[in-house]
Amino acid sequence: MLAALAAASFLLVAPQALATDISDVGFIDQGAVSDLAPFQAARQQFTAYQQSLSPQFQAAIKGKSQADQQAISAQFNQKLAAEQQQLFSALFARAQTAIAAVAANKGLNVVVDKSIVIYGGMDITKDVLDVMNQPGPVVPPVNSPAPSEIGYVDQTQLDALPKAKSAQDTFMQYRQQLQSQLNQQLAGKTDAQKPAIIQSFNSQLSDEQKKVIQPLVDATTKAITDVAKSKGLLLVIDQTARVYGGTDVTADVVKALQ
C-alpha cells in the first residue's frame, strides 16, 4: 500500500524533478560575433551610406514645413532600414544558423547572451566563431531544439499593455515636471546648496516610482513567476537575452496580467 502511494506521489511530482536539467544551457558573447570582419565591413558600409545620405537629407528638408520634414525623414529612414536589411540580414541568418548548429552539436536546448550569466553554463562563443569563419554556407541542424526549462518573455508586449503604458506615461510626465522644477531650483544656487536639492529630487523621483511603477513591476514579476512555476520552468528571462531555443511564455503572462 505504501509502495503504491509512493508511486502515485512520484507521478504527481515527477515533471518538476525531471525538469531540473541545466546541462542544456549555453551562452554566447554576441559582441564577439558582431566583431567579426564581415560584420565590421557591413557596419562600415552602412556608416558610409548614412554619411552619403546626410547631405541629401539636409538639402531635402531645407525650408520645408515641419510636417514635410517629418515625411522626408521617414523616407530617408526607410532607405536606411532597407540598406541595413540588405547589409545585415544574410550575416544575421548565418550567425543564427551557426549558433543553432553548434547548440545542436553540443546538445544544448537553449542559448542565452553571455551578459546575463554570472556563473556556470557552457560558453559556445569560440565554437560559433569557428563555424562562422569557415568558408561556404553553414549547414543548419536537422532538429529544432527540445522544450527547455528556461523560459523567455517579450517585455515589449508587456510594456504595451494598457495598464503598463498608462503607468509609464504618468511617471514620465511626473519626471519631466520634476526635472523642470529642479532646473529652476538649481539656478543661482551655490555648489554647497546644490547636493541637497539633488537629493530631494532623487528622493521624490524614487517615491513616485514606488507609487506608480513598482506595483506594476511586482504584478508582472508575480505573473511571470506563477507562469514559470505552473510550467515547471527554472526561470524566465527577457527575450532580448535569449539567443536560441527556450520556451516562450509571453502569451501566458499577457493572459495572466489582463
Partner 1 sequence: MSRLRAVSLIAFALAATACTKSSDQRTGNVLGLNTPGLVTGGAAAGYVDIDKVVAAHPLNSRLQALQDQITLLNAAAVSGPTPVTPAQIKAQDNLQRDLADAQTAFTQALADKQSAYRVKEEQADADISAKALGGTAAGPGGIVGGLQADFQRQMVAMQLSARKTLDAYRSDLYKQDADHLKHVQALLSQDVAAKLRAKDSQLSAGETAYQIRLARQDQDQRLNLKAKLDNLSLSPADRQTYANQLQAIESREASLTGQMKAIDQTTETAYRKQIQDDAAKRFNAERLATEKDTNSKLAARQTELESSIRTQATALGGQFQSKLNSANASLSGNQKVQTQLSDEHAKILAQYQADADAAMASYQATRKQLVAKYSAVARMQFQDNVALSMQAEALAQQRKQLYDGIVRQVQSVVADVARRDGVGIVFGTIAGAGNAVDLTDQVAKEAAALPSTTSQPVAPGG
**According to CB under 8 A, which one of 111, 138, 233, 243 is a site residue for partner 1?**
233
Cα–Cα distance, 112 to 245 (Å, whole number): 9
Cα dihedral 114→120→122→123 (10° resolution): 40
**According to CB under 8 A, which one of 72, 212, 213, 241 is a site residue for partner 1?**
241
Q: At closest approach, how far in Å is the CB of 125 from partner 1?
A: 10
Q: In b/e form, how buried is each residue of 154-170, taking b as 16+ CB within 10 angstroms?
A: bbeebeebeebeebeee
Nearer to partner 1 (CB atom), residue 74 or residue 235: 235
Q: At closest approach, how far in Å is the CB of 69 from partner 1?
A: 21
| Interface region with partner 1, contact rule CB under 8 A, candidates 60-68, 90-98, 115-123, 170-178 | 115-123
Taking the mean position of all CA atoms in its chain, how far away is CA 5? Answer: 45
Is residue 93 a contact point for partner 1 (CB under 8 A)? no
Cα–Cα distance, 28 to 243 (Å, whole number): 8
DSSP string over 142-162: SSPPPP-SEEEE-HHHHHTSH
The residue with cell 499593455 is 161
**According to CB under 8 A, which one of 102, 103, 122, 216 is a site residue for partner 1?**
122
How many residues make contact with partner 1 (CB under 8 A)? 66
Is residue 105 a contact point for partner 1 (CB under 8 A)? no
Cα–Cα distance, 231 to 246 (Å, whole number): 13
Nearer to partner 1 (CB atom), residue 194 or residue 210: 194
Taking the mean position of all CA atoms in its chain, how far away is CA 178? Answer: 29
Q: At closest approach, how far in Å is the CB of 87 from partner 1?
A: 20
Closest CA to 158 of 249, 53, 94, 244: 249
Write the interaction track for partner 1 spanning residues 169-188; mark x where CB under 8 A is met and - where it is not: ----------x--xxx-xx-
C-alpha cell, 100 = 543553432
Nearer to partner 1 (CB atom), residue 78 or residue 126: 126
Q: Which residues bind partner 1 (CB under 8 A)?
A: 2-3, 5-7, 9-10, 13-14, 16-23, 25, 27, 112, 114-123, 133, 135, 149, 151-153, 155, 179, 182-184, 186-187, 194-195, 198-199, 201-202, 220-221, 223-225, 227-229, 231-238, 241
